[in-house]
Amino acid sequence: MILTLSPTLLTVIEKLVIPYLFGFSFRTRHGSMPYGELAHGPKGIRQYIATLYGSRCAADVKEFLRLTSLRRRHANKWPCPCGSGRRLGRCHHHTVNGLRDCLGRAWFREEYARVAEFEEGRKHH
């Protein structure tokens, strides 16, 4: 997402390489990541996506992804996954629309399918 906004070498260095190297050196010295660490695998992916939406609950991720994959007019009529009781168009629409504009609906359709697959695999184990 960072590179879609500014696809330059300077952006890669400033926004990706330097934070990675800082985190790595901090972990080497202190034994832990400076800002905490997400879980590994599907759980970590859900946690990360939840932070993109500003949600505290990773369980909301699947519905947020589904709504982001829809057209604005249609998605804004659905209840917001955050549990506020309001429809998306009156709640998290700025966040959802910004992500949709940045990555496109197709990306969110694919991510929704992947998260649904994680859940399906978890049910069978």
* pLDDT per position as a tens digit, 100-111: 998 899 999 999
Segments making up each domain of the chain, as ranges: 1-37, 42-123
* pLDDT tops 80 at residue 119: no
* pLDDT tops 60 at residue 125: no
- In the structure, what pLDDT confidence band is assigned to residue 123 with cuts at 50, 70 and 90? low
Q: Are 11 and 4 in contact (CB under 8 A)?
A: no
The SS3 of residue 21 is: helix
* pLDDT tops 70 at residue 13: yes
pTM: 0.74
Q: Which structure tokens are listed for 96?
A: 């959802």
- In the structure, what pLDDT confidence band is assigned to residue 38 with cuts at 50, 70 and 90? confident
E-assigned strands of 28-100? Answer: none
